[in-house]
Structure 1
Amino acid sequence: MANGDDSGSTTLPTEDNNGRLTRLEGMMAILAGVIQNLQQQMLQTPPPPPPPLVGIEIPPPPPPVIPRQGGEPNVKEFLKLKPPTFI
């Protein structure tokens, strides 16, 4: 190897393994705390509303009805129309 150790061992010295194990245990403890916080937040917040059903469209509301004023002129205009001719 580059450092002069020709034993062929790929394991690290015990001190390095213990240090890594200690750091790993610390990270696991932090991660467990984060998971617990997230679980508590999930219990406190209400679930989101269900998504709309696929394929069912809700039509928009109809436009407001505007009352017509003076219906008589419309009738007079209708009477002026020529009747249809059938062949």
Structure 2
Amino acid sequence: MATARFLVSGKVQGVFYRAGTREQALVLGLAGHARNLPDGRVEVLASGEPGALDALERWLRQGPPLARVEAVAREALPEQALSGFGLG
């Protein structure tokens, strides 16, 4: 298992970005959370198979139809035992 933190900037709040991220993460078998940050970005913390994290990153770079993603920063973290996928 691998864990990564993604910071997504652009028009990503109020456009179902977190809900779409949760759907994708669950399909990919990932655990973690997606939450809005006060500065307008979305933080995604995900843990699972490395290939699934790569697939999630590809989705994060596009997002749902109403989103306009400008940048996605990825940071590898020490492995974490997470369960479910929450929204914050």
TM-score by length of 2: 0.21
Larger radius of gyration between Structure 1 and Structure 2: 1
TM-score by length of 1: 0.21
Question: Which of the pair is proportionally richer in strand?
Answer: 2
| Greater relative contact order (Cα < 8 A, sep 6+) | 2
